[in-house]
Amino acid sequence: MLPSSVKASGDSSYSWIVLGITSVAFFMSPFDASVVNVALPSIQASLNISLAAIIWIPAVYLLVIASTETTVGRLGDIRGKKSLYIISLAVFVAGSLFAGLSVNALQLIIARIVQGLGAAGMDAIGFAILAGAFRSRNRGRAFGINQMTIYIGLTCGPVIGGILVQNFGWRSIFYVNVPIGLAAAVLTLIFIRKDSPASPTGQRFDFIGAFTLTAFLTLLLLILNDAGFKLSSAQSDLLYVACIASIASFIYIEVRIAASPLLDLHLFTQNRLFAGGATTSMMNYLTVYSTFFVLSLYLQTILGFSPVNTGLVLLAQPILMVVSSPIAGMLSERISARFLSSLGMAIKSVAFFILTFLGVKSPIEGVLVPLVMIGIGHGFFSSPNLNSVMSSVGPGKFGIASGTMGTIRQAAQSIGISIMGGIIASNMPSGSILQYGSNSAVSGVVALDFVTGMRIAFFVACGFSVVGVFTSLLRGKKSDLVETKDQGNRDS
């Protein structure tokens, strides 16, 4: 029940209350994703985990979110968002507590799976609740502040993580989520209004579509990480066939069979703004998380930085995201997302090209300058792009749209880590990859091999960003948004 003081304050005040409450949860998910990278060497030493298993500790978290976020978004549309949001917060808290109590690799990976399930709901349902609380003219500003909160989580993660690990042990990075998550759940229960499902009560959930989508994303990431499993040629071929079959089955089910499709493919085939924004989002997020991953390894194993100092250097990127994101969000209410997002992707393209010149003994400025550029570029891309995408669909599809965008974001981040990490690993001699777990600089030959692979990886990242410039431009002009809305009104 909403307190009377809040009820009397009007919809405007309520909208900003919703923004504040959901921002708590939006802080936790990126914080948890970024803080783990700094703690991996400590976790490896404490639990005696192999490198192959260590890689899956951050990867499985993103994999689960990517596989389930669209599903949870659809469930929110059918069953109601408030209750599912509270459940998601509770699941995330339980997973965090389990992770802190883990005594072996298997328990920690299972805990990360539970965390991922909770984070999927926090992302998909949180965006939908936020979008529904604001009118169109203020939604861009709200999304800008929301994205700023996410970037604050990314900003705090490496630095706070380094401090926590060095002073309280790696388990503390998970325990810190428990009180924050519980507070967010209580605030949601008290202040956020209960919503009515946008879909008819009798509408059936697309379980088969959810299963085939999950299977496709899981198989795809297994293919990209098959080196860690030492699969035979026949096993690899079977994996490829299963992956292709799963995505083909998913598309067929959604178009031909499902009465209430999990994913409205018409958003891609008949909504140019949505399709362009979603494709550009994928190009963007293929490089975001993987940049942190690669540069964290570079700073710690090649330049010999400590975890805390590494976090301070990586701080440059998210802190510029925090500064530029709300500015871009406000600008998106007056300037076409087509221009702002394309500009952001162009800035990132230049930054990744600069990173291809890093060497074994590069000055720290060679890392800091492009990180600043990536932060600005991402900030100018993210808020306008999200505003454009969410404004191109009706309120009844906020849940499925936000869930779809979340799936694209998380899947692209997982795939990006696999691609860029795989490029570097393929350039390393067998056995030397084990030195990634060390906080001291590696030998000269291994360092040169690592840097060579890293340069190729950043060149690929530059290519992704260049493609993103063109997909953003092809989404259409700002006036197309009005035409899309008018068409949607006529169809309804």
Tens digits of residue pLDDT in 270-311: 778 888 888 888 899 898 878 887 888 788 778 878 778 888
Q: Are 270 and 155 found together in one domain?
A: yes
CA dist., res. 433 & res. 184, Å (int) = 40
Q: Are 116 and 235 found together in one domain?
A: no
Q: Are 31 and 102 found together in one domain?
A: yes
CA dist., res. 298 & res. 295, Å (int) = 5
Q: Are 24 and 95 found together in one domain?
A: yes
Dihedral sign (CA 227, 231, 235, 237): positive
Q: Are 76 and 167 found together in one domain?
A: yes
In a domain, 227, yes or no: yes
Last residue of a domain, one of 261, 276, 298: 261
Last residue of a domain, one of 261, 284, 301: 261
In a domain, 257, yes or no: yes
The pair of structure tokens assigned to 94 is 């339980």
Residue 192 DSSP SS3 = coil
In a domain, 174, yes or no: yes
Tens of pLDDT, residues 176-229: 889 988 988 888 888 887 776 655 555 566 778 778 887 887 788 777 766 556
Placement of tokens 């091999």 in the chain: 449
> For position 11, what pLDDT does the model report?
62
The pair of structure tokens assigned to 272 is 């140019």
Q: Are 143 and 243 found together in one domain?
A: no
- What backbone phi and psi angles, to 5 degrees, belong to 428? -95, 145
In a domain, 2, yes or no: no
How big, in percent rounded to 5, are the helix, strand and coil portions of the chain?
85, 0, 15
Confidence of residue 43 (pLDDT cuts 50, 70, 90): confident
> For position 431, what pLDDT does the model report?
44
Number of domains in the chain: 2
> For position 318, what pLDDT does the model report?
79
The pair of structure tokens assigned to 335 is 């300037």
> For position 229, what pLDDT does the model report?
60
Q: Are 150 and 29 found together in one domain?
A: yes
Angstrom CA distances, 334 to 130, 136, 331, 337, 387, stand at 21, 12, 5, 9, 12
CA dist., res. 173 & res. 35, Å (int) = 7
Q: Are 269 and 240 found together in one domain?
A: no
Is 80 exceeded by the pLDDT of residue 47?
Answer: yes
Q: Are 256 and 266 found together in one domain?
A: no
Please tell me the total number of residues recorded for the chain in this structure.
492
The pair of structure tokens assigned to 277 is 């924004």
Placement of tokens 């990886």 in the chain: 457
Q: Are 269 and 417 found together in one domain?
A: yes
Among left, alpha and beta (phi > 0; psi -120 to 50; other), residue 34 is alpha
Query: With pLDDT > 90 as the criterion, what percentage of the chain qualifies?
Result: 16
Confidence of residue 486 (pLDDT cuts 50, 70, 90): very low
Boundaries of domain holding 236? 206-261
pTM summary value: 0.75
**Rounded CA Rg of the chain:** 22
What is the DSSP track for 407-473?
HHHHHHHHHHHHHHHHHHHHTSPTTGGGGGG-SS---HHHHHHHHHHHHHHHHHHHHHHHHHHHHHH
Torsion of CA 319, 40, 406, 372, to 10 degrees: 20
Q: Are 254 and 190 found together in one domain?
A: no
In a domain, 200, yes or no: no
Return the amino acid letter for 245.
A
- Pick the more confident residue, 192 or 230: 192
Q: Are 75 and 90 found together in one domain?
A: yes
Q: Are 69 and 325 in contact (CB under 8 A)?
A: no
Q: Are 73 and 400 in contact (CB under 8 A)?
A: yes
Q: Are 277 and 392 in contact (CB under 8 A)?
A: yes
Confidence of residue 484 (pLDDT cuts 50, 70, 90): very low
Q: Are 195 and 80 in contact (CB under 8 A)?
A: yes
Angstrom CA distances, 75 to 68, 203, 389, 400, 490, stand at 11, 11, 20, 9, 27
In a domain, 88, yes or no: yes
In a domain, 492, yes or no: no
In a domain, 219, yes or no: yes
